[in-house]
Amino acid sequence: MASNEASLNEPKYGGDLERQTTQALDHETKEFDYSKRSQWLRAAVLGANDGLVSTASLMMGVGAVKQDIKAMILTGFAGLVAGACSMAIGEFVSVYSQLDIELAQLRREKVQREISTGQRVAAEPDHDELGEKEDLPNPLQAAAASALAFSVGAMVPLLAASFIKDYRVRLWVVVAAVSFALAVFGWLGAVLGKARTVKSAARVLVGGWLAMAITFGLTKLIGSRGL
């Protein structure tokens, strides 16, 4: 009788164990996908922050010696284009180097399989094997994302200054808009990186203020000396 009860309970126990294992695997998969997504978004946030700080600092530097709105806008636009191109090219070269390394690793794995199995395999990885490597880096995608993120950040000070003719008001509006965007980017980066939001936002904000203040002060000093 006891053996019959045990045999009846075995499928239930096995089913529960299989269900728990499946749920655990699903949970791990979701966590892994979230991790990959977080890293990608965090990189985009950092790129936007770079565009924001560098373009705003350039505009503040020019604004220290020239009150003309046209000069400030042209400087900001030049900074946006130059920065986006620089970020895209740098990211493309870096990610392409990583892609070459991973493809070389695939070739080494194919050679090792050939040695271990004694069968001849193709010298280059085929499409099926490349399809299995879903995490292979994409240089063009990385370059486009980097340029886009930089441009989004750089648009903040440009838009803030575009419609204000008064020199002093324009400077303060740029500082206010950039400060708000810095706090948002710092908070978002902390959320994606699972760090303390207040400290991260404050750190990004103070760093942006320092960059703008140093650029403004040094440009003002050089401009006043007539250099």
Per-residue pLDDT of the chain (227 residues; tens, 9 = 90+): 444 544 444 444 445 555 554 554 454 444 444 445 555 666 777 888 899 999 999 999 998 888 888 999 999 999 999 999 998 898 889 888 888 888 888 888 878 877 887 665 555 555 455 545 556 778 888 888 889 999 999 999 999 999 888 888 999 999 999 999 999 988 887 787 777 888 888 988 999 999 999 999 999 888 877 65
Is the CB of residue 157 less than 8 Å from the CB of residue 55? yes
Q: Taking each helix axis from N to C terminus, what angle separates 2-63 and 167-193, rounded to the nearest 10 degrees? A: 160
Domain extents in the chain: 42-225
In this predicted structure, what is the pLDDT of residue 124? 54
**Residue 14 gets which letter from DSSP?**
H
In this predicted structure, what is the pLDDT of residue 127? 46
Give the separation between CA 90 and CA 104, rounded to whole angstroms.
21
Distance from chain centroid for Cα 172 = 28
In this predicted structure, what is the pLDDT of residue 30? 46
Q: Which of 50, 51, 45, 57 has the alpha carbon at shortest distance from 211?
A: 57
Distance from chain centroid for Cα 56 = 19
Give the separation between CA 219 and CA 150, rounded to whole angstroms.
24
Give the separation between CA 117 and CA 165, rounded to whole angstroms.
75
In this predicted structure, what is the pLDDT of residue 128? 52
Q: Distances from the Cα of 21 to the Cαs of 9, 14, 27, 95, in angstroms? A: 18, 10, 10, 36
Is the CB of residue 160 less than 8 Å from the CB of residue 174? yes
* First and final C-alpha spacing in the chain: 102
In this predicted structure, what is the pLDDT of residue 121? 52
Give the separation between CA 46 and CA 135, rounded to whole angstroms.
21
Q: Distances from the Cα of 50 to the Cαs of 35, 87, 94, 112, 119, in angstroms? A: 23, 10, 18, 43, 51
In this predicted structure, what is the pLDDT of residue 95? 85
Is the CB of residue 161 less than 8 Å from the CB of residue 170? yes
**Residue 195 gets which letter from DSSP?**
-
Give the separation between CA 180 and CA 211, rounded to whole angstroms.
15
Identify the burial level of 61 via C-beta atoms within 10 angstroms of its C-beta, where 0-12 means exposed, 13-18 middle and 19 or more buried. Answer: buried
Distance from chain centroid for Cα 52 = 14
In this predicted structure, what is the pLDDT of residue 74? 93
